[in-house]
Amino acid sequence: MTSPTDKVFAGSIPKIYQTYLVPLIFQAYADDLARRLASRPVRRVLEIAAGTGVATRALAAALAPTDIVATDLNQAMLDEAAALGTPRGVTWRQADATELPFADGAFDAVVCQFGAMFFPDRAKAYAEARRVLVDGGVFVFSVWDRIEDNGFADAVTAGLRDVFPDDPPRFLARTPHGYHDRASIARDLAQGGFAAAPEVVTLTERSRADSPRIPALAFCQGSPLRNEIEARDARRLAEATDAAEREVGRRYGTGAVEAGMRAHVLTVRA
């Protein structure tokens, strides 16, 4: 079960997220998502849970002249995305994925990179994606696989046990990496009104950083894991980041580091 703070991206989190977490784990999958959609004849695309726009920028570069509307629940993330800009114009709009402010059949494709794990009611969010799609439209989205198959996230989570042994933060395992069972996802899609079975592709990539400090900063201070750390003791954020850095270094070395990461990409037709 998710925590209310799991979907809060506020304060300095958006800037740190974009600076460290996006190149660390998101960029490769954003480029893949754009390539998948570029092979389809789509004119109107809706992105949900766009974050700071890593997939939006890839889509804008690959899909000209397609109209793209990019949404997120957190206005602070959209502000960061808009400030960074895109290769061409897109429409940014704050929106809740479970209550989309768009007409039925307004889009040829709906895309979502690593956002479904945060939806409090996934079947409802999928029903909204189905509603705004034209008949025959496509929903393409990605979710992380198990935390054990995503090295830096697993190392950071393990490192935090040294700081909070009695109540270690579990955000990464609970939410980003807590929704990977393909049968469960297929059931949620069916409950949301998608009659067809999803096509599922599992993609393994490599995550690289110049030092162990970067994954530690990215996760501990550039994601809602920070909210969980500070809820235990806000004075210990730096200590927690240091502990995560030590564990990443212990596993992957003290210079440039590299770890595996794995995700599922699902495609389902309306």
Closest CA to 93 of 132, 124, 43, 144: 132
| Predicted TM-score (pTM) of this structure | 0.95
CA angle, residues 193, 181, 112, in degrees to nearest 5: 55
Average pLDDT over residues 147-166: 98
- Contact (CB, 8 A) for 144 and 150: yes
Number of domains present in the structure of the chain: 1
Domain limits for position 106: 4-269
pLDDT over 80 (residue 7): no
Average pLDDT over residues 16-23: 96
pLDDT mean across residues, the chain: 95
pLDDT over 80 (residue 258): yes
CATH label of the domain that carries residue 222? 3.40.50.150
pLDDT bucket at 64, cuts 50 / 70 / 90: confident
pLDDT over 80 (residue 83): yes
pLDDT over 60 (residue 6): no
Instruction: Determine how many CB atoms are found less than 10 A away from the CB of residue 175.
Output: 22
**Residue 183, φ and ψ in degrees, nearest 5:** -65, -40
pLDDT over 90 (residue 65): no
